Every structure is written in C-alpha cells, then in structure tokens.
Amino acid sequence: MEIHIRPFEPPDEPAVVRLWRSCGLVVPWNDPHADIARKAAVQPELFLIAHAGERIVGSAMAGYDGHRGWINYLAVDPECRRQGMGRALMAEAERLLDRLGCPKVNLQVRTSNREVIDFYRRIGYRSDDVASLGKRLRSDA
C-alpha cells in the first residue's frame, strides 16, 4: 500500500472523524468537528493526513506554542496498522516541528492504552516525571 502524507483539507473532515471513531479517539466530552475547526484556525499546516489513493488511513494533529510541541489525534486505520504508517506520520510531524525550532515534543496517552504507549516507546518517546493536569475552558457538549 502506497501512503502519502499531506495537510488536512476541509473535504477530509467526514473521513477523518470516521477514522477517529474507528480508532476509539472520540470521547463524549470532545466534539471531533469542533476540534477540527479549532485546528483549522491555528497552524492548520500541522494537521496531517495519510492517504492511500482516495482513502484516508491516518492522521496526526501537531502544534507548537513556542516552548513545546504537542501531538494529538495520531490515528491509523485498524486495518492498516503495523505497516509503518504511525511511524511515518510521527516522523513528518516531528520534522515540521523541528523546522519551527521546537526543542521537545509532548503527547498524552491514556495509561490504560498500553499498546499505544509501547508504540511511542519504540519510536523514542519516554515517560516524563510529571503530572498531567487539565482544566476545561469550554464544553463541547
């Protein structure tokens, strides 16, 4: 399967949301359409899509705040896993962040998701000795 990575385009939205749902990334407190709209307004060039022909099979949403880079919504179609697509998406996101001068990338994974944590470890990510805290400023519900 030949994969190409490019920035997200608005017509991709329905397929991307389906992909996220198939990967278990959509949760009741986050509206995926609102997340896409917010990303489209801030560094849209860092929202990456992997496609095989016309089919969207992966995504990664990166961002850089001038201090740290972040990765969200890394998703690979369950039928296409273990073929290097997640690694390729991460490599491209890291390349783009590095080009912006980003010194370090952070990401968050639910602690129950051991398979994904193991994937990130295989590509060089390590657990930081920090507590992840959050505060919702807006409700998507």
In a domain, residue 74? The reply is yes
Q: Which amino acid is at 87?
A: R
In a domain, residue 132? The reply is no
Q: Residue 73 and residue 19: Cα distance in Å, rounded? A: 10
* The total number of structural domains that make up the chain: 1
Name the residue range of residue 21's domain: 4-122
Average pLDDT over residues 62-83: 92
Q: Residue 118 and residue 89: Cα distance in Å, rounded? A: 16
Q: Compute φ and ψ for 74, nearest 5 degrees.
A: -70, 120
Average pLDDT over residues 69-77: 94
In a domain, residue 78? The reply is yes
In a domain, residue 127? The reply is no
Between 64 and 141, residue with greater pLDDT: 64
> How many H helices and E strands in the chain?
4, 5
pLDDT tens digits, 83-101:
889 999 999 999 999 999 9
In a domain, residue 32? The reply is yes
In a domain, residue 64? The reply is yes
In a domain, residue 97? The reply is yes
**CATH number of the CATH domain containing 59:** 3.40.630.30
In a domain, residue 128? The reply is no
